Amino acid sequence: MALDKAPDQEDNFLAGLATRLWHVTMSLAEPVMAGIQRLIGAKRMPWVFLAPNLVFFATFVFVPLLIDFGYSLTGGTHLFLSQRPWDGSAQYGHLFNCQNFSNPNSCEQDRFWHAIFNTGTFVVFQVSAMVLASLITALALNKRIRARGFFRAVFFFPVLLSPVVVALIWKWILQRDGLLNAWLTAFGGSKVLFFISPHWAMFWAIFVSVWAHMGFYTLILLAGLQAIPGDLYEAAQMDATSATRVLWRITLPLLMPNLIVVVVLALIKSVQTFDEVYVLTGGGPGTATLMIVQYIYETGFANQVQNFGLAAAASVVLGVALFFLTLLQLALSRRKGEAL
C-alpha cells in the first residue's frame, strides 16, 4: 500500500514511522469499534464514523448558525441573544429596502448591494482564471521535463504564504512607487495608479488571489493527470492524433473528477474571499472591490457600533444564496455522470 512502500529514500523513515503509529493506535481502537459493530450492526456503522465530525459540526457550525439566525431577528448591540430586543424581519427589511435593485445607490444599504454585485463579478472571473491557470500549469508540469520537482515547488510556494502577507507583497509591487511602476517608467511608460481605478483594482484583486492559490489546485490536477494510464497516450501516438485532439478526447474527460473538485473548491473559496482583497485594495476605490464578507465583517465586527443583527441578516441572505448555488452544482456534476 501507499504508506508501506514510498519509493524515495528520505521518505522511508518518516513514512514508516507514520505507518507504525497509525497501526498501533488503530489496533488499540479495534476491540472497541468491533464491540460497537456487534452491538448496533454493520448497517449503522456509517453513523459511528460520522459521529465525531458531526459533533464538531453541530457545536461550531450549526449552533453558531442558529445563533446568527437569532441575531438577524433581533436588534441592538447586546452579545447575548436573551438580552436582545425582538426586531422581527426589520433587519431583512433594511437590506431589501431598494427602489431599484439593479442600482445599489438607490438602496438603503447601498454598500450591501455593491458588495453583492462585486462578489458576483469577482467570483465569475476569478474562478475561470483560477481553473484555466492551474490547468495549464498542471499540463506543463506533467510533461517530461527536467527539474519538475523544482518547478512544482515554485508554483506551489505562494500557497504557503498567509493571505495578509500575499496582499502586502503585491501592494508594494503595485503602489505608485512600487516595483511595477519602477519598471513601467524604466521602459518609457508612465506610472499607473492602480488602486484608484475601479477596473485595475478588480483586476489585481483577481490576479493576486489566483497567484496565491493556483498552486493548490495545480497539485490536485497534477495528481489526476499522473493517474491517467500512459498506454492511452501511446495508442494516440500510434494513430498520430493531434495534440489538441488528445487534450479534448483523452486528457480532459479523464481529468473530469479532479476538475470538478477544483471548480467546487475554487468557487467556495472565491465567494469567501476576504482578507487578501481587504488588505490589497481595502475594498476600494470607493466600493469597487468591496466583497460581501468584508461588508458583513465591517457591519458586525469592525464598526464602533457592532450591528450584529444586520450583519447576521446579510449572512443569512448569503447562506441561502450559497445553498442554491450548491444545489445547482450538485445537479450539474450529477449530469456529468459523477456521483457527488
Q: Which CB atom, from 101 or from 326, has the smaller least distance to other proteins?
A: 326
Amino acid at 214: M
Task: Output the CA–CA distances (angstroms, integers) from residue 185 to 189, 196, 217, in the order listed.
Answer: 5, 19, 35
Provide DSSP, 147-193: THHHHHHHHHGGGGS-HHHHHHHHHHHHSTTSHHHHHHHHTT-----
Share of the chain residues as helix, strand and coil, in percent rounded to the nearest 5: 75, 0, 25
List residues bridging with 86 in a β-sheet: 74
Q: Which CB atom, from 30 or from 101, has the smaller least distance to other proteins?
A: 30
Nearest distance from C-beta of residue 125 to other proteins, angstroms: 19
Residues 6 or more apart from 146 whose CB is under 8 A from it? none
| Helix, coil or strand: residue 145 | coil
Nearest distance from C-beta of residue 131 to other proteins, angstroms: 16
CA distance 253 to 70: 46
Amino acid at 98: C
Nearest distance from C-beta of residue 75 to other proteins, angstroms: 5
C-alpha cell at 340: 457527488
Q: Which CB atom, from 33 or from 101, has the smaller least distance to other proteins?
A: 33
Sign of CA dihedral 337, 254, 248, 233: negative
Q: Which CB atom, from 126 or from 294, has the smaller least distance to other proteins?
A: 294
Q: Which CB atom, from 73 or from 293, has the smaller least distance to other proteins?
A: 293
Q: Which CB atom, from 90 or from 128, has the smaller least distance to other proteins?
A: 90
Q: Which CB atom, from 3 or from 124, has the smaller least distance to other proteins?
A: 3
CA distance 134 to 297: 30
Nearest distance from C-beta of residue 127 to other proteins, angstroms: 14
Q: Which CB atom, from 6 or from 129, has the smaller least distance to other proteins?
A: 6
Nearest distance from C-beta of residue 128 to other proteins, angstroms: 18
Nearest distance from C-beta of residue 45 to other proteins, angstroms: 4
Residues 6 or more apart from 46 whose CB is under 8 A from it? none
Q: Of 265, 254, 246, whose CA–CA distance to 134 is shortest?
A: 265
Nearest distance from C-beta of residue 16 to other proteins, angstroms: 12
Q: Which CB atom, from 3 or from 101, has the smaller least distance to other proteins?
A: 3
Burial status of residue 259 (CB atoms within 10 A of its CB: 0-12, 13-18, 19 or more): buried
C-alpha cell at 289: 472591490
Nearest distance from C-beta of residue 320 to other proteins, angstroms: 10
Nearest distance from C-beta of residue 313 to other proteins, angstroms: 11
**For the chain, how far is it from start to end, CA to CA, in angstroms?**
26
